[in-house]
Structure 1
Amino acid sequence: MPIKESELILNPDGSVYHLNLKPEHVSNTIIFVGDQNRVEKVTKHFDSIEFSIQKREFKTQTGTYKGTRISVISTGIGPDNIDIVLNELDALFNIDLKTRKPKENLTSLNIIRVGTSGSLQEDIPVDSFVLSEYGLDLNGLLHSYIIEPVSNPEIENAFISQTNWHENKSKPIIVKVSDKLEKVFESDKTYKGITATAGGFYGPQGRVLRLPIQDTTLNSKMDNFNFNGNRITNLEMETSAIYGLSKLLGHHAISLNAIIANRASGTFSENPSQVVEDLIIYTLNKIIE
């Protein structure tokens, strides 16, 4: 049965609603960045750019780097935006947009997030790279889907117990990185751990301005969380959504984080743009290895 027009919304030119993309515009290897201004910080290294478009915060450029076709897409901030981007990208590859029916032969995408983050552990310094071995959903987005096939109950229950997680909050979900991409991107330059994904920047990440927060000790409890050697290394706003939706849709995903702040030591990078540039070069060269 065709997917209803209200469920899969297309623009008059046949492109998907938010991204303004058609299938021929996108490679099956895609780099995610949050900030639309960071797209060209990646594509300036390309040999050539064949396509470029922007709608709202979603900017896409597709081109080649040392002979490999790559797309770069800005997702904006937060898990809600990841829900839009990943579902529409999957539709471009795995739904026939004319018949509105899922294809019989599905395409698996390689999705690499290149983002910035703050470290929660004092021994993970600013200007380093974190490879997210797990994404920890603290925001509840993944509960909209059937997540049992991708969740890790043992770690989730340990986290709930060790942090005394409040019963009124969404149950935390932990999703593992793609094993295939982990082997490609890990090296002696990367730290590994659990990346916690919050649903906001202020209260959800423990910041207090004028509003009191429900658990003032949550960050310190996350600092001390340990399950069989797995620690929470950093806190941001996209990784768990990327991991969960990618696995559910049959794609491979990895999140690489440039650490520009260390909240345990209170330090901030003296040159955050340089560590992001270093991570971009690292990522591009790992893609073509």
Structure 2
Amino acid sequence: MVIQQSELILNPDGSVYHLNLKPEHIAHDIIFVGDQDRVEKITKHFDTIEFSTQKREFKTQTGTYKGKRLTVMSTGIGPDNIDIVINELDALVNIDLETRKPKEELTSLNIVRIGTSGSLHTDIPVDSFVLSKFGLSLDNMLRSYLISEVSNTEIENAFIQHTNWDLQKGRPSVVSCSSALEKIIESDKMHKGITATAGGFYGPQGRILRLNIQDNNLNSKMDNFLFENNRITNLEMETAAIYGLSALLGHNALSLNAIIANRASGTFSQDPYKAVDELISYTLNKLSNSI
């Protein structure tokens, strides 16, 4: 099957359209951040930087940290951007860009997101870390794909029933993290649970300014949702999309968040940059010691 030019768009230099990357520009192990300014907050720790580029909000740098080759990439905000980033990364390693045919031998990337988020529980305080055991998609992006082959319908059904979810907003989906990456990154510093991914920052996350929202009580219902000892720990805008697309395409994905706000207590970190820097150092050291 030859993939048409309109479906996989390449720049004149042969790089993928949005990311402006060629296959040789990326490492096997990739760190995602949302903010383009956070890329260099990670790569400043690198021993070397071999490549750097930026197009729109997508900034990429590849180099080595303690001898391990890593790529750091900004994705921007939201599931729609994740759809672009993961599909184009997969194209770089699993599609021959000259023949426009999928490769017979596929490559699995390791993708770790370092983000910020708000906690839904008082016992997950600001400045703590969360490892997303599952990603719960509250938006509809993943439903454009055949997600049921990798999703956890038991958790989905339990969540729909518990929250009296309005299916006019679409059916939520739940996908687990990579167990291999979880074993590399986990420690007693990490809270674990379900990370809910919303398609927006205000109404979709229960924030009310001048517009009423469909369910004023959704956050409080999510607070006390529990499935086999897994509760919803935090709410953000990327994790479920990363987990769903990675699972479908055969990549390993893990999402980590520095908690900078606590929605339950109404508190915000006094030094959110410090919390993020500590999570960056923690993650880099864990990855550098992995195979």
Structure 2 length-normalised TM: 0.99
The equivalent residue for 1:98 is 98
Please say if 1:270 is aligned against 2:233: no
| Alignment partner, residue 6 of structure 1 | 6
Quote the residue 1:280 is aligned against.
Answer: 280
Partner of 2:116: 116
Residue number in structure 2 paired with 1:203: 203
Report SS of the residue matched to 1:231: strand
Match of 1:162 in 2: 162
| Cα deviations by residue, 1:247-271 (Å, 9 ceiling, x for unpaired) | 0000000000000000000111110
Give the root-mean-square deviation of aligned CA atoms: 0.5
Query: How big is each residue's C-alpha offset from its partner over 1:224-261, in whole Å with a ceiling of 9 and x where there is no partner?
Result: 10112110000000000000000000000000000000
Q: In 1, distance between residues paired with 2:69 and 2:31?
A: 11
Which whole-Å CA distance do the structure 2 matches of 1:229 and 1:45 have between them? Answer: 37
Secondary structure in 2 aligned to 1:24?
helix
String of CA shifts for 1:37-93, please: whole Å, max 9, x gaps. Answer: 000000000001000000000000000000000000000000000000000000000
Deviation at 1:175, TM superposition (A): 0.3
> 2:233 is matched with which residue?
233
Alignment of 1:1-289 (within 5 A): 1-289=1-289
- 5+ residue gaps, structure 1, are none
Q: Secondary structure at the match of 2:226?
A: coil
Aligned-pair CA distance for 1:167:
2.4
Structure 1 runs of 4+ with >6 Å offset: none
- Size of the aligned set, in residue pairs, is 289
Q: Give the whole-Å Cα distance in 2 for the aligned partners of 1:161 and 1:282.
A: 37
Can you list the C-alpha shifts for 1:17-56, whole angstroms capped at 9, x where unaligned? Answer: 0000000000010000000000000000000100000000
Q: Percent identity?
A: 75
The residue matched to 1:10 in structure 2 has which SS? Answer: coil
Distance 1:37 1:167 in 2: 37
Distance 2:224 2:148 in 1: 26
**What CA distance in whole angstroms lies between the structure 2 residues aligned with 1:199 and 1:73?**
21
Cα distance in 1 for residues equivalent to 2:241 and 2:147: 11
Q: 1:127 deviation in Å?
A: 0.4
Distance in structure 2 (CA, Å) of the matches to 1:64 and 1:145: 35
- Could you tell me how far apart the structure 2 residues matched to 1:127 and 1:275 are? 5
